[in-house]
Amino acid sequence: GSRGFCTDASRKPVLGEKCSKLDSREKEEVQGQEASSLPAKEGHFQFKELYENPWTIPNYLCIARIVLSPLVGYLIIEQYFHVSLGLFALAGATDLLDGYIARNWPNQKSALGSALDPLADKILISVLYVSLTYAQLIPAPLTALIISRDVALIAAVFYVRYKTVPPPVTLSKFFNPCYTTARLRPTLISKINTAVQLFLVAASLAAPVFHYTDSVFLQSLWYITALTTTVSAYSYYHYGKKTVEVLNKTK
């Protein structure tokens, strides 16, 4: 029977325990047996089962950022700009902190985090852009462009996940956070674009507080953000597979 977080009904009993408590040697032996038992198909990769502990501090910080997103969005709609600006700064601090921890403590770095961090950013950005558009601080076409790009990227992530989960693909496998399959590699322009988008959010939130809502500065940021968003979307299309590292490939 399975009692842990990182379990799958189709796996052997040794994998029914929590992944954090499995002996590393036992995991390697079982993974090797399961990988070798997968049928080889011409033109297809074989995949082995890899597991990791997803309950890391950076991942918790990403989850906190996701939870904060609708709250900040609600405050923007209700025009509590002072409070929403403060909470947005807090969300930004969690983004910086989770990256710092993951870079400096190897045991806090995870493949899940490589997907969860940009996902948290996209959820935060999407919610805030919709809210700021509702508050008439960001133009609707720019928000539509940003959300369209993010939806396409999230769909691509789900596709990669589906293609790299060892068959048979089940919902429990697909959504198991302990199940390691791939790590994302954001492009440089994508990182720049995220920074630009977040800067525009901060500037837009501060605009009604410091009374510069109709400034040329904000309007210039709209065009810059539209440009970086478009270039970033193209960079993922151009580099394609280079932005994904498959971790459980055996062939």
- The per-residue pLDDT for range 69-120, each reduced to its tens digit, is 999 999 999 999 999 999 999 998 888 888 888 888 888 877 777 778 888 8
- The per-residue pLDDT for range 2-35, each reduced to its tens digit, is 444 454 444 444 444 444 444 444 444 444 444 4
168 preceded by cis ω (within 30°)?
Answer: yes
* Residue 134 confidence (pLDDT) above 50: yes
What number is the average pLDDT over the span 224-244? 88
- Domain at 54-246, CATH class: mainly alpha
Q: How many CB atoms lie within 10 A of CB 159?
A: 10
Residue 182 identity (one-letter amino acid): A
Q: How many CA atoms lie within 13 A of 27 on its CB side?
A: 16
Burial class (CB in 10 A: 0-12, 13-18, 19+), 41: exposed
Give the least confident one: 49-53, 129-133, 222-226. 49-53
Contact yes or no for 101/57 (Cβ under 8 A):
yes
Please tell me the distance from the alpha carbon of residue 88 to that of residue 90, in angstroms, as a whole number.
Answer: 5
Q: Is the pTM here over 0.95, yes or no?
A: no
Please tell me the distance from the alpha carbon of residue 39 to that of residue 220, in angstroms, as a whole number.
Answer: 56
What number is the average pLDDT over the span 227-242? 88
* Residue 247 confidence (pLDDT) above 50: yes
CA-closest candidate to residue 97, choices 54, 128, 62, 63: 62
* Residue 40 confidence (pLDDT) above 90: no
pLDDT at residue number 113: 76
- The per-residue pLDDT for range 161-220, each reduced to its tens digit, is 888 887 888 888 788 777 777 777 888 999 899 999 999 999 999 999 999 999 999 999
Between 31 and 248, the higher pLDDT residue: 248
